[in-house]
Amino acid sequence: MKEFTLSELKQYDGKEGRPAYIAYKKRVYDVSENRRWKEGGHFGIHSAGEDLTQSLANAPHGEDVIEKLSLVGELTDARPAGLPLVEKIIRIHPHPITAHFSVAYGFVVPLLSLMFLITQKVSFETVSYYLLVLGFLSSPFTAASGYFSWRIRFEKRLTQVFVTKIRFTIIFIVIIGVCSVWRTVDPSILIDKSFLSYVFLMLEVSLMPIIMVLGHTGGKLVHS
């Protein structure tokens, strides 16, 4: 079997007609003819020419899918395993856990505000405010866990999926932050039913499509 170093493996990135090789558990596989690895990319998440041992650890398919690929060699200097603490943190999937909080708050907040406008029951607006603040306070933890996962599991790759997630995460934090501060400074912003009241409401409602984009891109990472 041919032996590859990490630097040599990078030459087989599947671009510009070059073969596409990947490494998994110190074995090197040829994915050049695999339709799921077109131009050396796998669903915009993984790239050929790299050691994907850790990146594929949480893939939805089993090792049998990897073993069906054409084996062409061995990796002589595979990336060392991460620190024990980091490995343990990764295994509990911190980002999917924390992301559920922001997702829930971002959907419920505008719905409660709309319920207030329909029913005129102030309790809806009050609960909406409390959840708005909780959503804002939880969003930095969600972003931090996402950055941690991106850095460790995906080696800070800037594919289109990650660019989209980063951009919309920033937009989400800015909007929910503005709404939280605005409602805190002006407690009657919705109650007044002025022009600014509807501007505030539209900002809250805009959280919903942003969350849908983030959920869609997150799903692509999990199920690809």
pLDDT at residue 9, rounded to an integer = 86
Check residue 183 and give its pLDDT. Answer: 96
* Terminal-residue alpha carbon distance, the chain: 30
pLDDT at 170 over 90: yes
Question: Tokens 């866990």 correspond to what residue?
Answer: 145
Alpha-carbon distance 101 to 172, whole Å? 13
Beta-carbon contacts of 95 under 8 Å, excluding residues fewer than 6 positions away, are 142, 145, 146, 148, 149
d(CA 99, CA 221): 14
Work out the mean pLDDT of the chain and round it to a whole number.
84
pLDDT at 151 over 60: yes
Domain boundaries of the chain, sorted by first residue: 2-75, 85-223
- In angstroms, the Cα distances linking 88 to 2, 21, 33, 154 are 34, 29, 36, 16
Q: Which helix (H) or strand (E) covers residue 162, if one does?
A: helix 160-185
Choose from 40-54, 184-198, 209-223 the range with maximum mean pLDDT. Answer: 184-198
Which stretch of 72-86, 100-114, 175-189 has the lowest confidence by average pLDDT? 72-86
Architecture of domain 2-75: Roll (3.10)
How many CB atoms are located within 10 Å of the residue 148 CB?
Answer: 15
Confidence band of 116 (pLDDT split at 50, 70, 90): very high
Q: How confident is the model at residue 223 (pLDDT cuts 50, 70, 90)?
A: low
Q: What band does 109 get if pLDDT is binned at 50, 70 and 90?
A: very high
**pLDDT tens-digit series, residues 65-104:** 777 788 888 888 644 444 567 667 767 778 888 888 888 8
Q: How much is the average pLDDT of 155-168?
A: 85
Residue 96 to residue 76: CA distance in whole angstroms: 34
Quote the pLDDT of residue 43: 65
Amino acid at 214: L
In this model, does residue 221 exceed pLDDT 90? Answer: no
Q: What angle do CA 65, 222, 56 make, to 5 degrees?
A: 40
**Is residue 188 scored above 70 in pLDDT?**
yes
Pick from 25-39, 52-66, 110-124 the range whose average pLDDT is largest: 110-124
The 10 Å Cβ neighbour count of residue 143 is 20
Residue with the larger pLDDT of the pair 170 and 86: 170
Report the b/e string of 185-196 with b at 16+ CB within 10 A: eeeebbeeeeee
